[in-house]
Amino acid sequence: MGMMKLFRIRGGVHPQGRKSLSAGEAIRDLPLPELLHIPLQQHIGQAAEAVVKKGELVKKGQLIAIAQGRISSPIHAPTSGEIVALGRYVAPHPSALPGRTITLRPDGLDAWAELPAPLDPFTCEPAAIAKRVAECGVVGMGGATFPSAVKLDLGQRYTLHTLIINGAECEPYLTCDDRLMREQAADVIDGVRIISRALGVKRAVIAVEGNKPEAIDALTHAAQGLDDVIIQKVPARYPMGSEKHLTQTLLGKETPARGLTAEIGAIVHNVATALAVRDAVRLGRPLISRIVTVSGEAMHNPGNFRVAIGTPIQHLIDFVGGFKVDPERLLLGGPMMGQPLADLRAPIVKGTNGVLALAGLHAQTSGQQGPCIRCASCVDACPCGLVPLEMAGAIRKENMDMATKSGLMDCIGCGSCAYVCPSNIPLVQYFNYAKGKITQTQRAEHKQKETKRLAEARSERMERIAQAKREAMAKRKAEQARQKAEAVTHEDKVSA
Amino acid sequence: MTNAVVSLALLGLSLGIMLGFAAKYLKVEAGALVQEIIAMMPGSQCGQCGFAGCNGAAEALVNSQAPITLCPPGGRVLAQALADKLGISTDLSGMEDQVLKVAFVNENLCIGCTKCFKRCPTDALVGANRQIHVVIKDACTGCGKCVEVCPTESLSLRNVPVTLETWHWPKPQPLLLAS
């Protein structure tokens, strides 16, 4: 148990935990569905490219899509079976638009492919760990899905002193990390030490919110005798799990605006990521399944399940027995930052930590929206020190410049402001809208520049072609004139 | 009397010379603003604005004969830039609804005549003689010049579909106060 001095962060809220719905349920394996729909974009960065063909038979853990570029991640077959389609399928996204997807029909044998040989993380080169993690398609499993290997290489560019393992799980309802820490504490700690080794740091802190005493006990027990791993209880306060705020709580230092925690010497990884890193290094296993919390008042039998990537959400909901009542809110992720689930056919992906069906009192998002009364509750709640009411006001008037100046790009979208707003103003939706709009404008600017470049290149080419034609014509004329002149002199000679 | 005549004549002469020099050396380029506007335009000479090309459109803009929202390839970004440049305050929210279009080749009808890509101002069409032509969507500005020349009507303009990459949250519905 750690004895670190903790620092207070500003703002934050205390939503009802509601974790008891699923926290008591041990992790169970979810049976495979008839079809797995595996999207090529499950991570931040470039989408992967499929390397399998329709009709091909694949083994469990076989590479089916390769990473593109530096910030990308490969994808592996979650089970053995036949590739039945390479096409588009509804994505786990609030728009429910289709994205490029590989569809696999499991053969029921669940036969493993030949996996890369286990690595001994404490004798191999630290760079070999990052390479293995990249090959195994491990991404940040707290929800951000940033390719983990890229973060393991940061030790070369920054002076790092602390690895922070995020076990805060501050979102209400979610208990997948809690269960993981309770049930696989020793493996998690092994994974943490492997990451420490890859980064070259001497100290790892596993931060767990105080509302998970069993997880803290299990980790403390597993870390006995280790002097490089500290288990630290942190106050249960949303958004403790935001990496910048967790770092500030533990180290007392604020991450520079729009910067990385590495700039102040810390790297943050999620507990589930630590376990995935361990499986990749010790067993050579790629990331092909994850733990998902299924919960909410409208859900029969809430629980935690180990789900193969690509499993349709409908399959998971059917397995727990469906809905007790019609859910008023269906969510992917937690109720604070989760995205509305628009289509139940969408698959579970590497970043899906929860599927929630809320109903009744707890489902109320925003009642009747009222005018802003400038009470500044949102200012008090904002953990980033922003003024949400001003930003929203600017966005309402489409003044994106002013919103950006007020710090829109420093907003982490945690939803604390909307949670406390007595007028039920959908502040986060304003910010999401503005961020999307700004990206769209940048895209349009880029396209306009490209159009100009293309048009100029074309007119220059046309000019060059015309010039060449003129020159050729002049040459031909000169040639004709010369021949004519020659002929004339010849005639002259003859007549003479 | 002579003094007055001479001094006034000298004054008139010197001022006249100064004005003459000023007219010659301090001359303001009549089209300076037009040139600046031309530099801001996409330069694809697509003619979607109704003028012969970007130069004509720029002149019309400077002479207030055309709205700043005239350029579809430039879109909202250009309209905003033009508004700032010309000191016009305007409401661009109406421009929002304009959906971008790109050319689309119906491969069953394309005969590979090469007419379309010769007309494309941004080289967004690729093809060869008696080969099916292809549109590079990212380079197409939807000007429709190719559609005009296509002999088999295989080319058409289609709306750019919203994808996972371009989708973003809609603006929240503003509060409607009961009157």
Interface test with A, best of B91, B143, B171 (most A CBs within 10 A): B171
Task: Count how many residues are written for chain A.
Answer: 496
Q: How many CA atoms lie within 13 A of A283 on its CB side?
A: 14
CA distances from A394 to A178, A384, A404, B161, B176 (A): 40, 18, 9, 29, 18
Tokens of B97: 């609804």
* Residue that is written with structure tokens 């935001």 in the block: A242
Residue A66 host element (H or E): strand A63-66
- Asked if A94 and A342 count as a contact pair (C-beta separation under 8 A), the reply is yes
Residues of chain A in contact with residue B162, where contact means CB-CB under 8 angstroms, are: 95, 97
> In the prediction, which pLDDT does A112 show?
96
Can you tell me the distance from the alpha carbon of A257 to that of A106, in angstroms, rounded to the nearest whole number? 46
Superfamily name and number for A19-106+120-307: NADH-ubiquinone oxidoreductase 51kDa subunit (3.40.50.11540)
The residue ranges of every structural domain in chain A are 19-106+120-307, 386-437
Helix, strand, coil % over all residues of chain B, rounded to 5 = 40, 10, 50
Subunit contact B168:A433, Cβ cutoff 8 A: yes
> In the prediction, which pLDDT does B177 show?
55
Distance from CA of A425 to the nearest CA of B (A): 9
Distance from CA of A138 to the nearest CA of B (A): 22
Residue A390 host element (H or E): helix A388-396
Residue in chain A closest to B72 (alpha carbons) equals A448
> In the prediction, which pLDDT does B50 show?
83
CA distances from A32 to A92, A105, A321, A490 (A): 18, 10, 16, 96
Subunit contact A430:B174, Cβ cutoff 8 A: no
> How many C-beta neighbours within 10 Å does residue A14 have?
10
> In the prediction, which pLDDT does B41 show?
84
Residues of chain A in contact with residue B174, where contact means CB-CB under 8 angstroms, are: 396
Distance from CA of A98 to the nearest CA of B (A): 7
Partner residue facing B164 (CB), from A99, A439, A448: A99
Strands A81-90 and A57-58: antiparallel
Residues of chain A in contact with residue B43, where contact means CB-CB under 8 angstroms, are: 451-452, 455-456, 459
Q: Coil, helix or strand for A479?
A: helix
- Asked if A158 and A263 count as a contact pair (C-beta separation under 8 A), the reply is yes
> How many C-beta neighbours within 10 Å does residue A44 have?
16
Residue A270 host element (H or E): strand A266-270
Interface test with B, best of A337, A339, A448, A449 (most B CBs within 10 A): A448
Which ranges constitute the DSSP H helices of A339-426?
377-381, 388-396, 400-405, 416-420
Share of chain B above pLDDT 90, in %: 30
Can you tell me the distance from the alpha carbon of A404 to that of A383, in angstroms, rounded to the nearest whole number? 17
- pLDDT tens-digit series, residues B22-69: 888 877 665 778 888 888 888 888 888 888 888 888 888 888 888 888
Size of interface A-B (CB pairs under 8 A): 88
Is some CB atom of chain A closer than 8 A to the CB atom of B142? no
Partner residue facing A455 (CB), from B43, B166, B169: B43
- Asked if B49 and B61 count as a contact pair (C-beta separation under 8 A), the reply is no
Q: What is the pLDDT along chain A (496 residues), one digit of tens a residue?
A: 556 899 999 999 999 999 999 999 999 999 999 999 999 999 999 999 999 999 999 999 999 999 999 999 999 999 999 999 999 999 999 999 999 999 999 999 999 999 999 999 999 999 999 999 999 999 999 888 999 999 998 888 999 999 999 999 999 999 999 999 999 999 999 999 999 999 999 999 999 999 999 999 999 999 999 999 999 999 999 999 999 999 999 999 999 999 999 999 999 999 999 999 999 999 999 999 999 999 999 999 999 999 999 999 999 999 999 999 999 999 999 999 999 999 999 999 999 999 999 988 777 665 788 889 999 999 999 999 999 999 999 999 889 999 999 999 999 999 999 999 999 999 999 999 999 999 998 988 898 888 889 988 998 999 999 999 999 999 999 999 999 888 888 777 776 6
Subunit contact B164:A443, Cβ cutoff 8 A: no
> In the prediction, which pLDDT does B178 show?
46
> In the prediction, which pLDDT does B179 show?
39
Domains of chain B are 32-86 (1.10.15.40), 101-159 (3.30.70.20)
> In the prediction, which pLDDT does A2 show?
54
Interface test with B, best of A441, A452, A456 (most B CBs within 10 A): A452
Question: Cα angle vertex A133, ends A258, A218, to 5°?
Answer: 85
- Burial label for A234, CB within 10 Å (0-12, 13-18, 19+), is buried
- What torsion, rounded to 10 degrees, do the Cα atoms A488, A489, A493, A495 define? 20
Subunit contact A455:B122, Cβ cutoff 8 A: yes
Give me the interface pTM, i.e. the ipTM: 0.81
DSSP tag of A282 = I
Low-confidence stretches of chain B (pLDDT beneath 70): 28-30, 90-98, 175-179
Subunit contact A455:B45, Cβ cutoff 8 A: yes
Can you tell me the distance from the alpha carbon of B38 to that of B58, in angstroms, rounded to the nearest whole number? 6
The one-letter code for the residue type at A300 is: H
pTM of the model: 0.85
Interface test with B, best of A101, A451, A458, A460 (most B CBs within 10 A): A451
DSSP tag of A83 = E
Angle in degrees, 0-180, between the axes of helices A185-199 and A176-183, rounded to the nearest 10: 100
Question: Cα angle vertex A367, ends A365, A368, to 5°?
Answer: 145
Can you tell me the distance from the alpha carbon of A55 to that of A83, in angstroms, rounded to the nearest whole number? 5
